[in-house]
Each structure stands twice: as structure tokens, then as C-alpha cells.
């Protein structure tokens, strides 16, 4: 009898980071459990089903979500940053509600490759209550392991790494000449931004960075929107403040977006998965850590470059910002060598997510099934 997995995550919203997670998870599942059925809770079920060849259930239709849970053998919450209430308490209640419903239905429920937090008092209470009875958990960084361990008793929580560290190379063609970025125009810098607090101050600082890269270092700067239209709008705000002429790239599919990052001499990123893909491809980056998960990635890589600045926080003086940009540019070869040494360990940890899932599946198929908590 084939296994049936149900995946709960931020899928079907057009966010390339989350779609990269889904692509890797589906590929790895099919490699390990040939013939398995995969059902994805999605905001766009038709698109998700067509893109990945999976079953897809509308995530907002709670009756159909409950039916999908009943059909599943194992329910996975993740990957991504789902168990946090910085976005909203409502979002946290949704993801924890899926976990709770799975546990109540007697299905093994696993927190899979997540970053946990930020969580305030009420967020911690929700996770503590709804996740009682988890069968297994893997998290993307040590901070998340410590936080989840303080909230959930009786489950081994293993620190792994983001599955996107396993993203395979693309064979699709990519021609950047139409964007004015042919191969003879100087080194390429790719920037990934999103909306965040104090957007005006962030935009001013980034415009200064873009202009310095263009004028002092002869770089061609391109903004790559990974989160769809909202990221493109955030990039446009920065571009309008620049005296140089950075480019806004199209909303590329995942494979082509990864190729753009792979061609860069330097990546500057808020989006976590822009930095994960850069690390996977050994491309140096300067982080804009808007969220603890970005800081945690840098810590796990023992990354030698300090963040450029923290969006929403204090912006460094112009001289300090220029120093950080120049330092990052000058140390690119050193940082690429560092990534070549550090990233393989995280790739191994990323594979470990699927080892832990296999241990859970083995318990399930040998009769040691989960029970309602």
C-alpha cells in the first residue's frame, strides 16, 4: 500500500522561496518513497497540481482540509517559517490548527524543516497547546530548536537545515540580454528585497548602496523579485531613488531565478531563500536580516561578512555603509571559498530532514502509529 503525505505550508501564493521548498520536498519524497501520493494544501490548487504533478487541496476550505487529513498517512507542517505570529496570530492559528486536527485524527504529524518564531506570549501559548502530541520535528536552525523544545514536551526536535540547500541545477535556458544584462557589461549584483518596516529609510540606504556598486565598482545591479508583485513594488521604490540605472527583472520561474543568482558576483538579500540559493551556488552575499531566520542562516554558515544593515532598525551612517559595501566587494573570492567549505555540511543536514521523516514512516508502517494528544 502506497504512502500518502499531506503538506501544509505557504504554497500556491507565488513566493519563489516557498515554491523552491515544495519542489525539493516533492522531488525527495518521490525518490525515497516511489509511488507515494502527495497532497498539498494550496492557495492555488490548480496551479500547484499542474506544476508539481501532485494532488492539491484548497487550503481555505476547512471541510476539504479535514478530509485531506483523514486520507493522509502522515501530515507535514512545513517547510518554511510557519510557526510564528509576527505575520499575524490568525496565520499561526491556521498552521497550528492543521497540526492539531492531524493529531486529533490519529495521524502522525511532523513539524518539517521550519524556522520557529518570533512568538509573543499568545503565540507561545498557541504552539504549546496545539502541538502537544507531535510525532517528530526538524527545524532549520539552533535558535528554533531551543524555542520549540521549550514549548513542546515528549518529542525529539532535531536541528537540520533548509531543504533548498538540495535544490538541483537547472537546465533551462536563460538570456539576460533582453534585460540589458548581456555578458560584456561588467559584474552582476543581484538584490532581493521585500516590504518591511521603515520602508522609506531602507529604500534610501539601499539606493546609496546600489549607486556605490555601480559607480565605484562598475557593477550592473538587478533587482530579482522572489515574492511576486509585492517584491517588485518594494524594488521599484528603491530604484526610483537611485541616480544610477538598476534593472528590475521579470517575475521569473524558480529555475530561471536560481540561474540569475548563480550568475551574480554578489547577492544582497532580505529574502531567506535568495541567500540559501546563493550559498548553495557558492555566490557571496550581503544579508539584510529582517527576520531571525536570516540571522540564523548566517550563524549556521559562520558567515564572515557582517550584515549590510537590519531593515527596520538603525541605518549605519553613509561612511559605514560604504565601508561595508566595499569590504564585501573586496572579499568576494575569500567568501566564495568559505561557502565552498561551509555549505556542504548544511546540505547534509538538509537531507537529514528526510531521514527523520523516514524514521517516522517506518514506525507508522510497522504499527507504532501516533495517537491523539
Q: Are residues 108 and 231 in the same domain?
A: no
Query: Could you tell me if 230 and 137 lie in one domain?
Result: no
One domain for residues 72 and 140: yes
Q: Are residues 239 and 298 in the same domain?
A: yes
Q: Which three cell numbers stand for residue 125?
A: 501559548
Domains contained in the chain, number: 2
Q: How confident is the model at residue 371 (pLDDT cuts 50, 70, 90)?
A: very low
Same domain, 311 and 186: yes
Beta-carbon contacts of 259 under 8 Å, excluding residues fewer than 6 positions away, are 170, 172, 174
Q: Is residue 243 part of a domain?
A: yes
Residues 146 and 189 in one domain: no
Give the model's pLDDT for residue 373.
39
Say whether pLDDT at 363 is over 90: no
- Residues 88, 214, single domain; the answer is no
What length does the chain have? 373
Q: pLDDT digits over 298-322, tens only?
A: 999 999 999 999 998 889 999 999 9
> Residue 132 domain-assigned?
yes
Q: Say whether both 269 and 127 belong to one domain.
A: no
DSSP per-residue string spanning 179-217: GT--TTS--EEEEE----SSHHHHHHHHHHHHHHHHHHH
What CATH code is carried by the domain that includes residue 13?
3.40.50.11720
Residue 99 in any domain: the answer is yes
170 in a domain, yes or no?
A: no
Judge contact between 15 and 228, C-beta under 8 A. yes
Domain that holds residue 144: 4-159
Domain for residue 23, yes or no?
yes
DSSP-assigned letters across all residues of 204-269: HHHHHHHHHHHHHH--EEEE--SSTHHHHHHHHHHHTT-SS--EE-----HHHHHHHHHT-SEEEE
Give a yes or no: residue 169 inside a domain: no
SS3 (DSSP) at 366: coil
Residues 322 and 194 in one domain: yes
| Same domain assignment for residues 110 and 221 | no
Specify whether 140 is located in the same domain as 252.
no
Find the mean pLDDT for residues 60-64.
Answer: 98
Q: Evaluate whether residue 367 is within a structural domain.
A: no
Q: What is the pTM of this model?
A: 0.92
Q: Check which CATH number belongs to the domain holding 220 and give it.
A: 3.40.50.2000
- Which tens digit of pLDDT belongs to each residue from 112-137? 999 999 999 999 999 999 999 999 99
Both 150 and 276 in one domain: the answer is: no
Does 362 reside within a domain? no
Query: What is the Cα–Cα distance from 60 to 368, expressed in whole angstroms?
Result: 32
Amino acid at each position: 500500500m502506497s504512502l500518502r503525505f499531506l503538506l501544509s505550508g505557504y504554497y500556491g501564493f507565488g513566493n519563489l522561496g516557498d515554491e523552491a521548498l515544495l519542489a525539493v520536498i516533492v522531488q525527495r519524497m518521490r525518490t525515497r518513497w516511489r509511488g507515494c501520493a502527495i497532497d498539498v494544501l494550496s492557495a492555488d490548487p490548480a496551479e500547484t497540481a499542474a506544476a508539481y504533478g501532485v494532488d492539491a487541496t484548497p487550503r481555505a476550505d476547512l471541510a476539504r482540509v479535514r478530509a485531506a487529513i483523514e486520507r493522509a498517512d502522515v501530515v507535514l507542517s512545513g517547510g518554511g517559517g510557519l510557526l510564528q505570529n509576527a505575520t499575524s496570530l490568525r496565520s499561526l492559528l491556521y498552521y497550528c490548527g492543521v497540526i492539531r486536527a492531524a493529531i486529533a485524527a490519529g495521524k502522525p504529524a511532523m513539524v518539517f524543516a521550519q524556522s520557529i518564531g518570533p512568538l509573543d506570549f499568545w503565540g507561545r501559548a498557541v504552539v504549546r497547546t496545539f502541538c502537544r502530541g507531535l510525532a517528530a520535528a526538524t527545524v532549520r536552525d539552533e535558535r528554533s530548536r531551543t524555542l520549540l523544545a521549550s514549548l513542546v514536551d515528549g518529542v525529539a526536535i532535531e536541528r537540520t537545515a533548509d531543504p533548498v540547500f538540495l535544490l538541483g541545477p537547472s537546465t533551462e535556458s536563460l538570456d539576460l540580454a533582453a534585460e540589458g544584462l548581456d555578458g560584456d557589461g561588467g559584474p552582476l549584483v543581484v538584490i532581493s528585497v521585500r516590504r518591511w518596516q521603515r520602508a522609506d529609510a531602507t529604500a534610501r540606504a539601499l539606493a546609496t548602496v546600489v549607486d556605490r556598486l555601480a559607480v565605484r565598482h562598475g557593477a550592473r545591479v538587478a533587482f530579482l523579485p522572489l515574492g511576486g508583485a509585492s517584491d517588485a513594488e518594494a524594488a521599484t521604490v528603491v530604484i526610483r531613488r537611485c541616480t544610477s540605472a538598476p534593472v528590475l527583472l521579470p517575475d521569473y520561474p524558480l529555475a530561471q531565478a536560481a540561474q540569475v543568482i548563480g550568475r551574480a558576483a554578489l547577492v544582497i538579500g532580505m529574502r531567506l531563500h535568495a541567500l540559501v540559493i546563493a550559498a548553495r551556488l557558492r555566490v557571496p552575499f550581503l544579508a539584510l536580516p529582517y527576520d531571525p531566520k536570516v540571522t540564523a542562516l548566517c550563524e549556521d554558515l559562520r558567515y564572515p561578512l557582517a550584515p549590510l544593515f537590519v531593515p527596520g532598525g538603525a541605518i549605519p551612517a553613509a561612511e559605514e555603509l560604504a565601508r561595508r559595501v566595499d569590504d564585501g566587494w573586496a572579499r568576494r573570492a575569500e567568501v566564495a571559498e568559505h561557502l565552498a567549505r561551509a555549505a556542504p555540511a548544511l546540505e547534509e543536514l538538509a537531507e537529514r530532514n528526510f531521514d527523520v521523516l523516514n524514521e517516522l514512516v517506518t514506525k507508522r508502517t510497522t504499527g507504532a502509529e501516533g495517537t491523539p494528544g
